[in-house]
Amino acid sequence: MINKAVKAIRTKKSRPKKSILRRWSIANAAFFFVAILIVAFASFRIVLSTIDKSNKQSMIQSMNNLVTPLQESDVPLSVKNLKSYLKIDSDLEINKNEYVIQTSPVLSNMIGQKNLSFYIYGNNKKLIFSTLDKSFPFHRDTGGKTVLINYKGSQGFLLSKAISSVKSNQIVGYALIFFNLDPFTSLAQEIFSYFVWIALVGFVTAAFFGYWMGRRFTHPISKITGSMEKVAAHPDEKFVPVEIEQEDEVGQIAKFYNSMMNRVNYYIEQQKGFVSDVSHELRTPLAVIDGHLKLLKRWGKDDPKVLEESLSISIDEISNVKLMLEEMLSISRLENLPYEYLMKKCTPLKETANALTNFKLLHKDFIVELDNKVIVSTEIQMDPSHYVQALNILLENAVKYSPDIPKSIKLTLRESGKYVEASVSDQGMGISKEDQNLIFERFYRADRARNREIGGTGLGLSILSKMIKQYQGEIKVESKLGEGSIFTFKIPKVKS
């Protein structure tokens, strides 16, 4: 059942329905495409608006250039007198509709515009002049403004103005200018089509570029998810850290993931070792109790001496098991120490004096020397009960491993920078160099042959080590075989 669940998880993770890479590529391409279209449309509108404004101003200026000489006439304009006012030297062509056609660039040059068509009407609104070989219907005065019209399928701007004589102030004719927008419309459509093609090419380019960049961004994530799938499928295999060279957010995630998995593996190994050690340590007392109970069942219960001895030994073994279980619970509590404990303070000199008073009541045959170099007001960041417990572990350890003579222990307190150090030294059997790296592990004893004789559970130094680390402190040991040991731990002072 579990294997099926893991397989389902792996299949689901390895084949996501909505790929971030695909969505990133599409979103990147779509954004680029829309951005180009918006910029193209805005640019297109700005260009058209600028051209329209320029053309309208040119038409107004051209109209003024055209009308100014015609205002000198004090009689109605006609085909006959038009040439003198326009100052055109070449012969004017009169078509069958009886209006003048002037296709030469003379007039256009005179008024400063080449791409406009001009029309002049008499005061009877009849066409008398045109720059094109076709007529154009009369339009009333537009009031000095250009208007957009459609004429015979062509769209353009029209400007019409009445010509008033400067001498008689009478209307002598009308002038009309038409600007055909068809060439500009075709050009604008062609430019817009270029923009669309550029946007499409940009869309494809952005899609490929987005996919390439997305693969670079998501590749580290794929490595992390692959590692997760491997852990889910084979939790018993050794964890291999994910190697990512990127120094960005994904790299940070990989570092946190590696750190988390290493810590999880550490706790798993600790748990396995813990279970193995507990089962091993329980095997001896349970075997002793089992042996004595079977002895009593067979024949020992009828012998008062054997009965008393077996019951005493069984009770001692049960007491040892209870002590071991209590110390195991202490280790468990230390691994999840509440925040309020870590914030407590204590005065080491005061608590040390109380601990020594209680110790001397229990071990009257031991001489304890206190070498204090800490002022009375100095405080450390540690719960008082934990500080006393740390001292008691070291003092009891010194008692267990000290020979019969001399029975002396030295306790030293001193300040070291931001820390307060507490050292307990004895003149006991000492610890070998090899054992010094292992004595803080659970159930470890330097002298296995004397385990039953010395007593204890082998958890004291492990409890001490975890406790000191919880308070951001350090612990070390200096020892030589046959010369005794010095255990030192230091705890940070309270920040002023």
Q: Which ranges of 129-248 does DSSP label H, i.e. alpha helix? A: 182-233
Predicted TM-score of the model (pTM): 0.47
The pLDDT value recorded for residue 6 is 43
CA pair distance 135, 147, nearest whole angstrom: 19
Give the model confidence (pLDDT) of 106-152 as tens digits.
Answer: 555 555 455 678 889 988 888 888 887 777 889 888 888 888 888 88
The pLDDT value recorded for residue 491 is 95
The pLDDT value recorded for residue 391 is 93
Give the model confidence (pLDDT) of 431-440 as tens digits.
Answer: 888 888 888 8
**Running DSSP on this structure, what letter comes out for residue 301?**
G
Please name every residue paired with 372 in a beta bridge, in sequence order, or none if there are none. Answer: 413
- What is the CB-side half-sphere exposure of residue 115 using CA atoms within 13 A? 11
Question: pLDDT below 50 — which residues of the chain?
Answer: 1-14, 112, 448-452
The pLDDT value recorded for residue 449 is 43
Peptide bond into 406 cis (omega under 30): yes
The pLDDT value recorded for residue 5 is 44
Q: Which of 316, 289, 482 is nearest to 401 (CA)?
A: 482
**Running DSSP on this structure, what letter comes out for residue 173?**
E
Query: Which secondary structure element, helix H or strand E, spans residue 250, and what is its range?
Result: helix 249-298
Q: In order of start, what are the domains of the chain with their CATH numbers?
A: 1-234 (no CATH), 249-335 (1.10.287.130), 339-492 (3.30.565.10)
The pLDDT value recorded for residue 101 is 62
CA pair distance 123, 117, nearest whole angstrom: 20
C-alpha torsion angle, residues 58, 62, 64, 69 (rounded to 10):
170
The pLDDT value recorded for residue 331 is 66
CA pair distance 175, 29, nearest whole angstrom: 54
The pLDDT value recorded for residue 347 is 94
The pLDDT value recorded for residue 102 is 59
**Running DSSP on this structure, what letter comes out for residue 238?**
P
The pLDDT value recorded for residue 488 is 96
Q: Which pair of tokens denotes residue 400? A: 């267990």
CA pair distance 334, 354, nearest whole angstrom: 23
**Running DSSP on this structure, what letter comes out for residue 483?**
T
